[in-house]
Structure 1
């Protein structure tokens, strides 16, 4: 079986009459063009050109095969055009699963820009606390905050690290100051909660520092904790990826080193090449990565 790419060299030499000119046209060396022609002739067992002092001339066999090579070239070009059209015309519904806190903060402006760039794509945003089963088709794409997504057949992109630290609002800081160390947190109002999984981790952090009794407001969701901090009600530990994107919030403690958790975009391998899913994955990955890099610079 011959190399399909050799047909490009065959047509270039047939059209220009020399391996030098064909090499220029294909941006390869003359030696490469000549080697490709020789390899194609050997694979086919047919002499395609007569080597003359003035250049390369098609043999009768070469003339007979030229039309077939041009048909292959046209088919390849048509294939590429059709693929590009699929990408340009990506349309339909993409079901995106994300935590509510991500949906109302970093994702909101990104989804606005996605719609402007690809108006034929419709996003169904699922902010359920339940982790959707991508293998079972419960969602097309998921934005997850985990150490590493688990499950068979998943295609994952880590778009950001996700350290957590304590935050308050600018108005709270102006009225009450910012605690300079963990001991100073005892003189401030702390906000707890965030949902079962988050509260378990958060409560352990409070217990380690003897701060459980300082929690005066508790919310059942991370969105509630975020809103309470933003309102100036007190201090809470929040994900930096979300909190740093809000100009109203300020850090009360440094970001811890050695971050294990990350923000991941996840889809299933059976969907990764579906045009509308690929477009949304690529767009979200680029924009979320840009947000993370901007935060790292700041």
Structure 2
């Protein structure tokens, strides 16, 4: 095995054209440069440098190693930068993605507190119902909800469980009445998303009552919920969000199959980065507390309950 300092001597000669120039670049004397080159040649079993009166030049073997040596140099620099980041603590830019529904379920109001606790972390938020590719580097961290996480190499921490159910507004109920059976939903207006799997309460209903149809769809959870609140349609909403709205009525109790989960996910190479660790350690217990507070609230105290 060879010494990285010996490789640096080879790079310095390649760049400077002489052992004297290499010594100046490395901050050592020429004897040290010569000794390091000899050690590298001995370890590799190759002649790498030709010495002559005008200086020094690389042999064909030496020139062939320059690209690999430069790659090692870049890797060493990246490692040094990583160490410095960890030594500095939580700082830098953190790209976080989540759905509109997740953002509106209590995450956004927590941002000022996070900012106060970690002033050196700059959050870049991508609020979208599209799932960005964390493994491809489209974001550093995601807060994701659903029945299950797809198989991947991501590191995930489950932070909450959420029931979903069908809701309508007081105005919709006054105009259209409330369905009392699944079959009666055929006579009502239902709003859904691009994929019903993203809205568990509705997915369960459609599985149990195949004759029931979604009347119209929206690719935005915010628009869907606004349509329900405006009295346009019946829609599937997370109970933790809808039950706090006094204008919304829960039509049927949530089915056991409508339970969804929330995870905070990141890449394995980022899980121990201070800025990522700070985000997870800050938001995970607070999301859990929001869910616990909702579940401990008496049913009669929740808005929209009969």
Q: TM-score range by the shorter chain?
A: 0.5 to 0.7
2:199 is equivalent to residue 193 of structure 1: no
Q: Deviations over 1:117-164 (max 9, x none)?
A: 333322111134432232332211111123332444422111111332
Mapped to 2, the partners of 1:206 and 1:193 lie a distance apart of 11
CA contact (8 A) 1:161 1:259 kept: no
| Maintained 8 Å contact 1:191/1:229 | no
1:276, CA displacement in angstroms?
1.2
Distance 2:180 2:282 in 1: 40
Distance (whole Å) between structure 1 residues aligned to residue 158 and residue 239 of structure 2: 15
User: What's the CA shift for 1:280?
Assistant: 0.9
Shift of 1:260: 5.5
Conserved in 1, the CA contact under 8 Å of 2:183 and 2:212? Answer: no
Tell me, yes or no, if the aligned pair for 2:162 and 2:291 is still in contact at 8 Å. Answer: no
Structure 2 alignment gaps of length 5 or more: 1-83, 298-306
CA RMSD for the aligned pairs?
A: 3.3
Counterpart CA distance in 1 for 2:151 and 2:192 is 28
Is 1:110–2:113 an aligned residue pair?
no
> What is the number of equivalent residue pairs in this alignment?
213
Which shows bigger deviation, 150-159 or 191-200? Answer: 191-200
Structure 2 match to 1:168: 168
CA distance in 2, matches of 1:97, 1:199: 16
| TM-score normalised by the chain length of structure 1 | 0.60
In the alignment, the residues of structure 2 paired with residue 241 and residue 180 of structure 1 have an alpha-carbon distance, to the nearest angstrom, of: 23
Secondary structure, aligned partner of 1:158: strand
* d(CA) in 2 for partners of 1:112, 1:125: 14
Q: Distance in 2 between matches of 1:112 and 1:274?
A: 21
Aligned partners of 2:199 and 2:237 also within 8 Å: no
Q: Which runs of 5+ in 1 are unaligned?
A: 1-81
The Cα shift of 1:275 comes to: 1.3
Cα gap change, 1:241 to 1:265, in 2 (>3 Å): farther
SS where residue 228 of structure 1 aligns? helix
Task: Compute the displacement of 1:293 (Å).
Answer: 0.9
In structure 1, distance between residues paired with 2:101 and 2:198: 15
Question: How far apart, in 1, do the equivalents of 2:186 and 2:147 lie?
Answer: 31
